[in-house]
Amino acid sequence: MECCCRILTSSIGKKVQVALAGLFLCVFLISHLAGNLLLWGGPELFNHYAEALEANLLLPVAEIGLVVLFALHILVALRVRWENKQARPVGYQVSEWAGGRTIGSATMMWTGLAVLAFLIVHLKTMRFVDHGTEGLYKHVMGQFANPGYAIFYLVAMVALGLHLSHGAQAAAKTLGVENPRITPVIQKGGVIFAIAVAGGFGAIAFWACWLAGGR
Ligand code: HEM
Q: What is the pLDDT of residues 58-93, one digit of tens each?
A: 999 999 999 999 999 999 999 999 999 888 766 555
Closest residue by CA, ligand 1 atom 13: 127
Domain membership of residue 96 (yes or no) is no
Position in ligand 1 atom list of the atom nearest CA 54: 16
Q: How many domains does the chain have?
A: 1
209 Cα–ligand 1 center, Å:
16
Domain membership of residue 159 (yes or no) is yes
What is the mean pLDDT of the segment spanning 5-33? 94
77 Cα–ligand 1 center, Å:
22
More confident residue, 88 or 136: 136
**pLDDT digits 0-9 by tens, 159-206:** 999 999 999 999 999 999 989 999 999 999 999 999 999 999 999 999
Q: Which domain holds residue 208?
A: 2-89+102-214
Q: Tally Cβ neighbours within 10 Å of residue 32.
A: 15
162 Cα–ligand 1 center, Å:
19
Buried b (16+ CB within 10 A) or exposed e, 145-162: eeeebbebbeebbebbbb
Q: What is the DSSP letter of 188?
A: H
For residue 66, give the 3-state DSSP assignment.
helix
Domain membership of residue 19 (yes or no) is yes
Query: Structure pTM?
Result: 0.92
pLDDT value of residue 93? 56
123 falls in which pLDDT band (50, 70, 90)? very high
What is the mean pLDDT of the segment spanning 28-57? 97
4 falls in which pLDDT band (50, 70, 90)? confident
CATH number at residue 13: 1.20.1300.10
CB 32 near ligand 1, within 6 Å: yes
Domain membership of residue 97 (yes or no) is no
Give the closest residue to 200 by CA, choosing from 32, 73, 21, 1: 32
Domain membership of residue 121 (yes or no) is yes
What mean pLDDT is reported for the chain?
A: 92
